[in-house]
Structure 1
């Protein structure tokens, strides 16, 4: 797919399902890869979930390096750095009373999807319908009914099931980006305490994300199923 086709598919997806905000294109720039030309650095220190939320609501396009990521846990699961020991062991969440024991916290954090550390040097973000690069993953933050419709469209041609593996931890980064990036599968997640605190993700919204190669089939099926 070239950029024009990705933009066209993005617009068709928005129009077909009347999405309230843009799907977000995300590309993990490998260490041996050049940064996309013509895309500015974000220029502020903020969280990955906030970056995604800004892109979907405001239509901004930018890239971010490790120093731009306020949430180092989010940066770590996307391969920009090593995960800190207190987060890796679950100690952070245990002391927030999210778990009844350190063992429970550690068991959960061991299952969080993580891109290999230091394999990524930047993350690029854009509204899907405006992207000037080929994304790895597309995140769609929307209401449960539309997540249902997107799931149905994903399965329309070949059937199967959509994965929904989550723990309410590192949702927009690990579940939303690392999981589909590593697995090549679509995923559904419900948000986490941080993303719901620091962004404008609403109580009635959740996240579905797909590898970009699924986009043509998803749009074709959605148009078949939901346009009368």
Structure 2
């Protein structure tokens, strides 16, 4: 499997409205200059760059492009503001009931440890070489399926951490990068404003080192977890992409025969 094949496969098995996004940190000026994508010509919030990439745009960003101070801090392109680090800032806006709780949130966030010269943010399918993190923004059903795909090889998802702040930059980018583990986010009011995500959308961040296993896991868990009506649409999407459909089995699910007592209109 290569990057393009993995995107074809995941878009066959899941009904995604947005493209999976790849994020790559470029730690030297030489790496940045050699990365053959145009630098954004204006400031943009990091989360909006991810939104743009989910719709097909490719870009490089440096600290000069950063329009959100907290996003820039997560990416180590700006120092964390002292009021945020101390907890005073968010407490003063009544986000947390005391300074100690507010500070604990700042302390728990996993920001980038080494300052990059820049970042590439593009649809995953646009990469020739591996990015660092894959971000998928979608409806909860698809995030569930990606969690199940991860579980196929990795088991229980034990380290999910989120608090409804710094959702794209920390929850879905620097946390997976630092921990080599997946994470989910329900997004936050800031990114929902500036990136205009849909109310029903949430996100998952996946270290690229886990990406192929997650995709394969989604494929392998289709028969136990998907019902026949969805299997039919999956089969159709796979055929449209020229992908093999022989492994799809109808009338077979993990919970066959498990339920009793008044079930109505239970779809296979």
Task: Find the residue that maps to 1:51 and give its secondary structure.
Answer: helix
**Structure 2 vs 1, CA of residues 46 and 92 (structure 1 numbering), >3 Å: closer, same or farther?**
farther
Q: 1:95 Cα shift?
A: 2.7
Aligned position for 2:82 = 85
Moved over 4 A (4+): none
Q: 1:34 Cα shift?
A: 1.1
Once residues 90 and 124 of structure 1 are traced to their aligned partners in structure 2, the CA distance between those partners, rounded to angstroms, is 31
Q: 1:10 aligns with which of 7, 11, 24?
A: 7
Equivalent residues in 2 for 1:60-139, closer than 5 Å: 60-117=57-114, 119-139=115-135
Structure 2 residue 178 is the aligned partner of structure 1 residue 178: no
Contact 1:29 1:123 in 2 (8 A): yes
TM-score, structure 1 as length reference: 0.91
Structure 2 residue 185 is the aligned partner of structure 1 residue 197: no
Deviates more, 1:131-140 or 1:165-174: 131-140
Once residues 24 and 96 of structure 1 are traced to their aligned partners in structure 2, the CA distance between those partners, rounded to angstroms, is 32
Contact 2:91 2:99 in 1 (8 A): yes
Q: 1:24 aligns with which of 15, 21, 24?
A: 21
Q: 1:103 Cα shift?
A: 2.1
Contact 2:134 2:206 in 1 (8 A): yes
Aligned position for 2:36 = 38
**Structure 2 vs 1, CA of residues 162 and 24 (structure 1 numbering), >3 Å: closer, same or farther?**
farther
Q: 1:79 Cα shift?
A: 2.3
Contact 1:151 1:162 in 2 (8 A): no
Q: Deviations over 1:99-136 (max 9, x none)?
A: 2222221121111111125x211111110122234210
Once residues 129 and 193 of structure 1 are traced to their aligned partners in structure 2, the CA distance between those partners, rounded to angstroms, is 29
Aligned position for 2:143 = 147
Q: What are structure 2's unaligned runs of at least 5 residues?
A: 223-233, 235-247, 249-268
- Count of aligned pairs: 223
Q: 1:166 Cα shift?
A: 0.9
TM-score, structure 2 as length reference: 0.78
Q: 1:145 Cα shift?
A: 0.9
**Structure 2 vs 1, CA of residues 39 and 162 (structure 1 numbering), >3 Å: closer, same or farther?**
farther
Q: 1:162 Cα shift?
A: 4.9
Q: 1:201 Cα shift?
A: 1.3
Q: What is the CA RMSD across the aligned residues, in angstroms?
A: 1.7
Contact 2:161 2:184 in 1 (8 A): yes
Once residues 76 and 30 of structure 2 are traced to their aligned partners in structure 1, the CA distance between those partners, rounded to angstroms, is 14
Q: What are structure 1's unaligned runs of at least 5 residues?
A: none
Q: 1:33 Cα shift?
A: 5.6
Contact 2:15 2:142 in 1 (8 A): no
Q: 1:32 Cα shift?
A: 6.8
Once residues 25 and 38 of structure 2 are traced to their aligned partners in structure 1, the CA distance between those partners, rounded to angstroms, is 15
Which gives a bigger RCO, structure 1 or 2 (Cα 8 Å, sep 6+)?
1
